[in-house]
């Protein structure tokens, strides 16, 4: 009896100390408003220990973006009904004073209109129109420091006439006015996109290996089908190349927008775990079949680096733009696989070489690792850095490919080096360290790749 009681007590203690309710996120939006409202509810914490972190970057963006500038009306709520104003800290976070009041809720607003006006690169900002709200998770959702690994229940509330779509659970059959999502953790919540409003069109592409969707704003049905066909072709080519598809589903998110100023740039796209976002200037002619390379590249990122990556990429330090040593791999390996291996684009090698030749000295004299560290915050803001990184990565991949094929008499290729990295991450469930990359690729191909590897580590010019 005593034993049983003790056992029973242990179970209770265990539950008290470790059971964590999912964090409740609620997003409210009234069409026509510039702002969205966000609320986070969590198990009580002392006010003086809470930091509400607002992300300053996200995996694969390689840029520092001050999303905190668009956050306002930050309030903490105590269990006794008191409200504490959020105060901006010495970084990208808010604090709630030094009392030991117990807080279990914070709320804040995000000015979507101001975000779009201030951020000139359309791929970094969320958008609000009279019939549309398009949100990039990391541009609007903050988190309580220390709770980023916890499960989340997200509820979205908007006008009853507005359908809601998320890349978390894509479906042509959308809920109107309100919907909720169970999310594994903060990283998954903010990797996703959220599209709502009467202006959003969604189609499912038939005959794909996995559920494949196009969700778009301000496009004609024709465009959607064209995008869907190009997406399907990309998925089929990548599935054939890698031999498997790791994504449970995939969504191509397209925004066709009237530029809000001549300075705003609609050229960049962004990859996510199970989706990509593309932004197009509606005043320019659009032909979806010309997006094959772009879609192939961004969808290819769902294999690498999204499911095999170096340190700094994941887990991600959200309140800074972390230094990453392997951007050349993240970008260059998929550039090589998609344009050289899959599309067999003959001119691409020379273009990568010319990107190295025409680079300024401050880029040429950097080692591969040094250039990647520089690109961690300035990949696209000086795109000569970005182009040099993916070009060096792609040319390294090419040299590896030639050597592997020669040494194995065509039995193996660069693809086996990539599959080796992907398999390694699946087994080890962590980021690979810099010094582990070459041995993983050498082992998976059975070819000593150290000489080619060492050659590409050095600067282009001394
Ligand atoms: Zn890319």
On whether both 179 and 284 belong to a single domain, the answer is: no
The residue-averaged pLDDT of 448-461 equals 97
Report which secondary-structure segment, H or E, holds 31.
none
pTM of this prediction? 0.94
Asked if residue 195 is part of any domain, the answer here is no
Q: Residue 18: is its pLDDT beyond 70?
A: no
Domain co-membership, 184 together with 45: yes
Residues 416-430, mean pLDDT to the nearest whole number: 98
Q: Are 219 and 161 contained in the same domain?
A: no
Q: Which domain holds residue 400?
A: 327-457
- Are residues 293 and 246 part of one domain? yes
Give me the phi and psi of 261, to 5 degrees please: -160, 165
**Cα-to-centroid distance, 447 and ligand 1 (Å):** 27
**CATH code: domain of residue 82:** 2.60.40.3650
**405 in a domain, yes or no?**
yes
Ligand 1 centroid to Cα of residue 278, in Å, is: 12
Cα 148 to averaged position of ligand 1 atoms, centre (Å): 26
Distance (angstroms) between ligand 1 centre and the Cα of 267 equals: 13
Q: How far apart, in whole angstroms, are the C-alpha atoms of residue 364 and residue 27? A: 46
Last residue of a domain, one of 300, 318, 353: 300
Expressed in angstroms and rounded, the spacing between residue 384 Cα and the centre of ligand 1 is 15
411 CA from centroid of ligand 1 (Å): 28
Residue 161 maps to a domain: yes
How many of the other CB atoms lie within 10 Å of CB of 431?
19
Are 121 and 158 a contacting pair, CB within 8 Å?
no
Query: Averaged over 305-318, what is the pLDDT?
Result: 97
pLDDT of residue 462: 84
For residue 378 the two structure tokens come to 């300035």
Consecutive H or E run containing 180:
strand 178-183
* Distance from residue 297's CA to the centre of ligand 1 (Å): 6
Q: How far is the CA of 165 from the centre of ligand 1 (A)?
A: 25
pLDDT interval class at 10 (50, 70, 90): very low
State how far Cα 184 lies from the chain centre: 15
Quick one: what percent of the chain has pLDDT higher than 90?
Answer: 91
Å from CA of 110 to ligand 1 middle = 28
The two three-digit tokens of residue 364, written as one number: 């040429």
- Between the CA of 301 and the centroid of ligand 1 the distance, in Å, is 7
CA torsion sign for 170, 279, 418, 331 is: negative
Q: Is 420 a residue whose pLDDT tops 80?
A: yes
Nearest to 144 by CA among 47, 35, 14, 64: 47
Q: Are both 445 and 336 inside the same structural domain?
A: yes
Residue after which a domain boundary falls, among 161, 190, 219: 190
Tell me if 253 is assigned to some domain.
Answer: yes
What average pLDDT does range 294-312 have in this prediction?
A: 97
Domain count, the chain: 3
For residue 145, report the distance from its CA to the centre of ligand 1, in Å: 29
Give the end of a domain, one of 130, 156, 190: 190
CA 459 – ligand 1 centroid, Å: 22
Expressed in angstroms and rounded, the spacing between residue 56 Cα and the centre of ligand 1 is 19
Report the C-alpha dihedral over residues 393, 399, 405, 407, rounded to 10 degrees: -130
Question: How far does the centroid of ligand 1 lie from the alpha carbon of residue 333, in Å?
Answer: 10
The Cα 143–Cα 147 span in angstroms is 7
How many A from CA of 55 to the centre of ligand 1? 21
Nearest-angstrom CA–CA distance, 440 and 445: 9
Place of tokens 């660069």: 414
Q: Which stretch of DSSP H or E encloses residue 385?
A: helix 383-407
Looking at the predicted structure, is the pLDDT value of residue 1 above 80?
A: no
Residue 169 lies in a domain: yes
The Cα 375–Cα 359 span in angstroms is 14
* Separation of CA 117 and ligand 1 centre (Å): 25
In tens, the pLDDT along 144-184 reads: 999 999 999 999 999 999 999 999 999 999 999 999 999 99
Q: How far is the centre of ligand 1, averaged over its atoms, from the C-alpha of 394 (Å)?
A: 12
Ramachandran bin of 218, using left for φ above 0, alpha for ψ from -120 to 50, beta for the remaining angles: left
Q: Are residues 172 and 42 in the same domain?
A: yes
The answer on pLDDT for 16 being more than 70 is no
The phi and psi torsions of 361 (rounded to 5 degrees) equal -60, -35
| Domain co-membership, 185 together with 205 | no
Q: Mapping DSSP to helix (H, G, I), strand (E, B) and coil, where does residue 112 land? A: helix
Q: Does residue 110 belong to any structural domain of this protein?
A: yes
**SS3 state at 412:** coil
Least Cα distance to 441 among 246, 349, 323, 451 occurs for: 451
**Residue 106 to residue 109: CA distance in whole angstroms:** 11
The CATH number given to whatever domain includes residue 230 is 1.10.390.10
Distance 271 CA to ligand 1 centre (A): 7
| Unique residue bearing structure tokens 């796209």 | 269
Ligand 1 centroid to 373 CA: how many Å?
17
**Are 241 and 345 in a shared domain?**
no
Q: How far is the CA of 378 from the centre of ligand 1 (A)?
A: 14
Residue 268 CA to ligand 1 center (angstroms) comes to 10
SS3 185: coil
Give the distance (Å) from ligand 1 centre to CA of residue 51.
32
> Domain check: are 365 and 260 in the same one?
no
Query: Ligand 1 mean position to 105 CA, how many Å?
Result: 37
Contact 50/42 with Cβ under 8 angstroms? Answer: no
| Ligand 1 centroid to residue 305 C-alpha, Å | 9
Q: Which of 332, 302, 308 lies closest to 239, judged by CA?
A: 302
Tell me the CA–centroid distance for residue 196 and ligand 1, in Å.
26
Using the mean position of ligand 1's atoms as its centre, give its distance from the Cα of residue 391 in Å: 12
Residue 314, in any domain of the structure? no
Distance 402 CA to ligand 1 centre (A): 23
DSSP 68: G
Residue 3 — very low, low, confident or very high, per pLDDT cuts 50/70/90? very low
What does the pLDDT read at residue 221? 67
- pLDDT of residue 138 exceeding 90, the answer is yes
Q: Is residue 310 a part of any domain in this protein?
A: no
First to last CA, the chain: 78
Residues 40 and 98 in one domain: yes
* Distance (Å) from CA 298 to ligand 1 centroid: 6
Cα of 277 vs centre of ligand 1, distance in Å, is 12
How far is the centre of ligand 1, averaged over its atoms, from the C-alpha of 414 (Å)? 18
Distance 456 CA to ligand 1 centre (A): 20
| Helix, strand counts (H, E) of the chain | 14, 21
Between 119-123, 156-160, 388-392, 414-418, the lowest mean confidence (pLDDT) is in 119-123
Q: 340 and 252 in one domain?
A: no
Let me know whether 365 and 233 are in one domain.
no
Crossing angle (nearest 10°) for helices 368-378 and 327-335: 90
| Residue whose C-alpha is closest to residue 50's, from 59, 58, 41 | 41
- Tens digits of residue pLDDT in 32-73: 999 999 999 999 999 999 999 999 999 999 999 999 999 999
């Amino acid at each position: 009896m005593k034993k049983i009681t003790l056992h029973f007590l242990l179970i209770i203690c265990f539950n008290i100390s470790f059971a964590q309710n999912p964090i409740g996120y609620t997003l409210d939006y009234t069409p026509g408003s510039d702002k969205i409202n966000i609320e986070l509810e969590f198990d009580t914490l002392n006010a003086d220990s809470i930091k509400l972190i607002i992300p300053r970057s996200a995996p694969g963006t390689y840029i520092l973006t001050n999303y905190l500038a668009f956050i306002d009306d930050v309030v903490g709520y105590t269990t006794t009904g008191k409200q504490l104003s959020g105060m901006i800290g010495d970084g990208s976070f808010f604090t709630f004073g030094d009392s030991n009041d117990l807080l279990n809720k914070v709320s804040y607003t995000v000015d979507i209109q101001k975000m779009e006006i201030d951020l000139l690169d359309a791929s970094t900002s969320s958008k609000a129109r009279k019939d549309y709200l398009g949100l990039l998770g990391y541009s609007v959702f903050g988190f309580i420091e220390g709770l980023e690994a916890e499960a989340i229940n997200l509820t979205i509330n908007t006008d009853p006439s507005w359908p809601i779509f998320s890349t978390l659970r894509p479906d042509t059959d959308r809920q109107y006015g309100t919907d909720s999502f169970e999310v594994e953790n903060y990283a998954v919540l903010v990797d996703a996109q959220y599209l709502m409003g009467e202006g959003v069109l969604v189609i499912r592409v038939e005959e794909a290996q996995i559920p494949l969707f196009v969700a778009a704003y301000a496009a004609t049905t024709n465009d959607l089908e064209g995008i869907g066909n190009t997406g399907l072709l990309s998925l089929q080519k990548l599935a054939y190349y890698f031999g498997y598809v790791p994504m449970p589903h995939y969504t191509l998110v397209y925004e066709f927008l009237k530029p809000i100023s001549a300075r705003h740039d609609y050229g960049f796209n962004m990859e996510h775990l199970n989706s990509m976002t593309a932004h197009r200037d509606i005043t320019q002619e659009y032909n979806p079949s010309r997006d094959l390379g772009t879609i192939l590249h961004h969808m290819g990122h769902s294999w690498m680096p999204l499911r095999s990556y170096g340190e700094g990429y994941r887990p991600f330090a959200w309140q800074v733009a972390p230094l990453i040593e392997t951007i050349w791999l993240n970008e260059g390996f998929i550039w090589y696989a998609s344009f050289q291996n899959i599309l067999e684009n003959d001119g691409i090698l020379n273009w990568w070489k010319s990107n190295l030749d025409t680079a300024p000295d401050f880029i040429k004299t950097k080692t591969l690792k040094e250039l990647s560290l520089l690109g961690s915050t300035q990949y696209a803001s000086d795109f000569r850095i970005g182009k040099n990184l993916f070009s060096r990565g792609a040319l390294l991949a090419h040299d590896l490919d030639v050597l592997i094929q020669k040494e194995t008499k065509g039995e193996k290729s660069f693809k086996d080096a990539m599959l080796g990295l992907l398999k390694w991450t699946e087994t080890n469930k962590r980021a690979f360290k810099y010094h582990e990359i070459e041995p993983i690729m050498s082992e998976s191909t059975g070819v000593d790749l150290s000489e080619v590897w060492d050659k590409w580590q050095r600067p282009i010019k001394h």
